[in-house]
Structure 1
């Protein structure tokens, strides 16, 4: 994560160096993966697995971390293979949809300049449809692990 965020800082020509704080925040968020009663479903495009933003060693470590997270009972990782027919389903900006204990639902859209939080029901419905379309293309379990292993092997 440190290497990725250093790269983002460099690419965006940011003067403020808050990488250590940002890494600490992200590592703290990972504790939620172990919270009882939660379920986390992640969808990734296969191309993301192969995009080497850091050194080959760091990239392989990231892929191994993903494989480790997939072993958690609260985590499901779906990977959308590069060769899957995509009629009517295109790649989307990075987003997540969170449902909270009080029933509130928020969609977070990652933009170049920050994070956009959406709460209007029509916006949530739009992102749920996009999620469902993308999830329908994804493979999980052994098929997903095979794609991750292939991406790691391509770094050697």
Structure 2
């Protein structure tokens, strides 16, 4: 019977500890957009209109901006940094960041009840990041080679 390896899958395979420049570049772009949107919402530079602001939690663009920064900006920034290094946590972080972006878009549509062409584009980008992270979860461990 083979010996069980209780380490998480992404720590078992040395191939996973590689640089992910394309993933880092894509998440960097998404992070910049998230941070720019968050700053715009917090400072009032982005005008959502009175109807949408009424639908926001606490009727606050500041709260929306802070939420965007924490839910999308921070995770995408983390994946960018990890993906640019040889960090084994890149894949799980990408899964979480991609799921967070998709969740953000779903909640955004439900809360503000308006449609923008950027919403499906961002959801697809989140799906791409999530799938890029999942790619390494099927890699065999060293005992399976």
Common fold: TM-score over 0.5: no
- Which gives a bigger RCO, structure 1 or 2 (Cα 8 Å, sep 6+)? 2
Q: Which has the larger radius of gyration?
A: 2
Higher fraction of strand: 1
Query: TM-score, normalised to structure 2's length?
Result: 0.30
